[in-house]
Structure 1
Amino acid sequence: MTDGQDPLPGSVRRRRERRERWMREGERPLGRNLALIGALGWLVIVPTLAGLFTGRWLDERAGGGIFWTAALLFLGVVLGGWLAWSRIEQER
């Protein structure tokens, strides 16, 4: 509200558009929702596990510790979250 514009008209317009789209298209099928949930799970798990296993392999080569494991695990979780977010945005 720092620019002096009222957010209410935009909110009302978006709600009306969503309702009209729902009335026109109806609810998404249950199978499509379940497929999306499964895809999101794989999109998060695969990069996370890839980071974990790659980090463990690099740490074994470097002589122990968990530096690469922790760093690549974090990177895998971030990448998986970004991929899942992108997929959800694509579904909209």
Structure 2
Amino acid sequence: MNDEDDRAASEIGRRAGRMKNARDKPGPSPLRGFGTFGMIGWSVAVPTVGGALLGLWLDRVAPQGFSWTLALLLGGVVIGVFIAWGWVLKEGNDDDRS
């Protein structure tokens, strides 16, 4: 083999390596942000609505001097924010590893 064949073979090897690397470690999808945004929204919305519904039921069953609905609505928001915060931290750690 001559010098030109060696250069061609090494160029083919470099290109194959880049292609394999791109296939094994694809970049982040543009739609991944929408998925994360939706997951964070659901993480806050579900506990908030659940707390409000439970509060409405408790207001009918066990009335108190305060509103169960407002208390559990606020509690649901707080729990949802902590869940969303966990998701954001997890997604950030996943991005750091790639």
The whole-number CA distance in structure 2 between the counterparts of 1:40 and 1:66 is: 30
Query: Structure 1 residue 66: deviation in Å?
Result: 5.6
- Between 29-38 and 40-49, the greater mean CA deviation after superposition: 29-38
Distance in 1 between the 2:64 and 2:81 partners? 28
Q: 1:37 is matched by which residue type in structure 2?
A: F
* Residue 38 of structure 2 corresponds to residue 44 of structure 1: no
The alpha-carbon deviation at position 67 of structure 1 amounts to 1.5
- CA spacing shift, 1:65–1:90, aligned 2, 3 Å: same
User: 1:71 Cα deviation (Å)?
Assistant: 0.9
Deviation string for 1:54-77 (max 9, x for gaps)? 000000112487621111001000
**TM-score normalized by the length of structure 2:** 0.62
- Measured in 2, the distance between the counterparts of 1:82 and 1:60 equals 29
Q: Distance in 2 between matches of 1:90 and 1:38?
A: 15
The corresponding residue for 1:53 is 53
Structural mapping, 1:25-36, within 5 Å: 28-36=28-36
- Extract unaligned runs of 5+ from structure 2: 1-24, 93-98
Q: Which residue of 2 aligns with 1:90?
A: 90
Superposition misfits of 4+ residues, deviation over 4 angstroms: 63-66
Separation in 1 of the partners of 2:88 and 2:32?
Answer: 13
What is the TM-score of this pair, normalised by structure 1? 0.66
Aligned residues: 68
Identity level (%):
40
CA distance in 2, matches of 1:54, 1:65: 17
* Structure (1 or 2) with the larger CA radius of gyration: 2
* Whole-Å separation in 2 of the counterparts to 1:26 and 1:54: 44
Deviations 1:28-57 (A, max 9, x none): 311111110110110000000000000000
